[in-house]
Amino acid sequence: MPALIFDCDGVLADTEVDGHLRAFNEMFTQLGVPVQWSLEDYAQKVRIGGGKERLASLFSDPVADQLGVAEEDRAETVALWHRTKTEIYTRLVADGLMPARPGIARIVAEAHAAGWALAMASTSAEASVRAVLEHAVGPQQAAAFRIFAGDAVKNKKPAPDIYLLALDQLGIDANAAVVVEDSENGMRAAHAAGLRTIVTTSTLTHDENFEGASLVVDCLGSTATGVPLQVASDPLEIAPHAEVRLTDIQKVLEQPLLHRGA
């Protein structure tokens, strides 16, 4: 059985700016943390895999002395910050502030109907991933997914651990799966696990280096809503027309790897 494995943020919805950044800043205000991340700040923080890891990086920033957190209390403080941020983020998702990206619900329905395994592999908290997934594809389709997220692995992307875990738990070989990612870090993680990738660029990742991806597009495309895709790179000559369809993803599976795993 082939599998289609999705990253969450930037893939299911363009969540980073309207979701995660807003939730981080609301959390800082709510808990009295003397920090507010600008878009430029967050564009750097988002390169760190995992929300807890992004928060922990504050202790290496110039603002560290203003936080008033003893070294022995840092792990507990980060856990509180992250838990509060996740609650805020989940509310933002429920309020419908982050619509699904074009073509997501369509390709999930198409793959599910064809008997493909479906999975999520994300460094975000599992509660956040579940909230976005259900909002993007609906509860019935979301129930078909295996979710690998958050602290399921110690080493976050670009380490391959989350994808290796997914392959192991799904019981499949890397040659039987295609990953949909939006970031260079995520793509590198998938490639290090020996997986083929389709990249759908997002607000914060459109200028990253996606060499080695089987296909790079600005979205999966949705003719139903009048949003065709734009192809940025198509080294295998998959040639999707307006939408990435399951037949296009099958072509990716049938073509050789364009990269070497770690």
Residues carrying an active site annotation = 7, 9
**Cα–Cα distance, 129 to 19 (Å, whole number):** 12
Q: In the chain, at which residue ranges do the beta strands (DSSP E only) sit?
A: 3-6, 117-122, 145-149, 177-181, 196-200, 215-217, 231-233
Angle (CA) 262 149 214, round 5° = 45
Q: How far apart are CA 21 and CA 54, in angstroms?
A: 11
CA nearest neighbour of 78 among 151, 142, 148, 3: 151
Structure tokens at 137: 């594809």
**Contact yes or no for 153/162 (Cβ under 8 A):** yes
List the alpha helices (DSSP H) in 32-96: 39-45, 51-56, 74-94
Q: Are 246 and 221 in contact (CB under 8 A)?
A: no
250 vs 245: CA distance, rounded Å: 9
The tokens describing 44, both together, are 């750097």
User: Per the structure block, which two tokens stand in for 261?
Assistant: 């795993």
Pair 214, 238: CB distance under 8 Å: yes
Calculate helix-pair angle for 126-137, 104-113, nearest 10 degrees.
90
